[in-house]
């Protein structure tokens, strides 16, 4: 069961691209919207969740949409193995200096959980998403 998602890192792992994205003015605002997007995504509404953060993501909208299609194709297996979603919690927000922050959430299901990790980069204008992943490697939370 814990091995069904290793490709998800490749599916949603996006590194900064030379594209213009909107910026969050603060980390608090970023955390609030990203948390809502992950809550939506982890409930099986992937496109809706990604649409919430797409303007703040340093990746082309078409590439994000293609990655969502790939994630949707895996969702039946995830939901059948993990059960119904029962909650979500922010595990950590770790800064690396003043321009990089990694936030990690746990989406909780009846039988297991998924770890969601988002990396944000701060330029002179604000914060934007440069990396978004999910996997079932919960031991990496320790």
- The CA–CA distances, whole Å, from 16 to 1, 56, 60, 129 equal 31, 11, 10, 8
* 60-109 pLDDT, tens digit each: 888 888 888 988 888 888 888 999 999 999 999 999 999 999 999 999 99
Q: Is residue 45 predicted with pLDDT exceeding 50?
A: yes
* pLDDT single digits (tens) 2-41: 555 543 443 444 333 344 569 999 999 999 999 999 999 9
Here the tokens at position 10 are 């490749």
Q: What is the pLDDT of residue 5?
A: 52
Domain ranges of the chain: 6-141
Question: CATH for 6-141?
Answer: 3.10.450.630
* CA dihedral sign, ordered 20, 72, 43, 81: negative
pTM reported for the whole predicted model: 0.81
pLDDT at 71: 87
Residue 95's pLDDT is 97
Determine the pLDDT at residue 85.
93
The backbone region for 44, taken as left when phi is positive above 0, alpha when psi lies in -120 to 50, beta otherwise, is left
106-141: pLDDT as tens digits: 999 999 999 999 999 999 999 999 999 999 999 999
């Amino acid at each position: 069961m814990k091995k069904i998602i290793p490709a998800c890192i490749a599916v949603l792992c996006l590194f900064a691209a030379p594209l213009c994205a909107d910026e969050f003015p603060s980390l608090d605002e970023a955390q609030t919207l990203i948390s809502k997007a992950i809550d939506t995504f982890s409930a099986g509404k992937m496109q809706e969740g990604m649409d919430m953060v797409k303007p703040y993501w340093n990746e082309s909208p078409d590439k994000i949409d293609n990655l969502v299609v790939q994630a949707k194709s895996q969702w039946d297996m995830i939901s059948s193995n993990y059960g119904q979603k029962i909650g979500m919690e922010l595990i950590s927000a770790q800064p690396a200096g003043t321009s990089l922050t990694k936030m990690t959430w746990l989406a909780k299901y009846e039988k297991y959980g998924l770890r969601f990790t988002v990396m944000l980069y701060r330029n002179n204008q604000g914060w934007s998403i440069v990396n978004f992943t999910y996997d079932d490697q919960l031991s990496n939370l320790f």
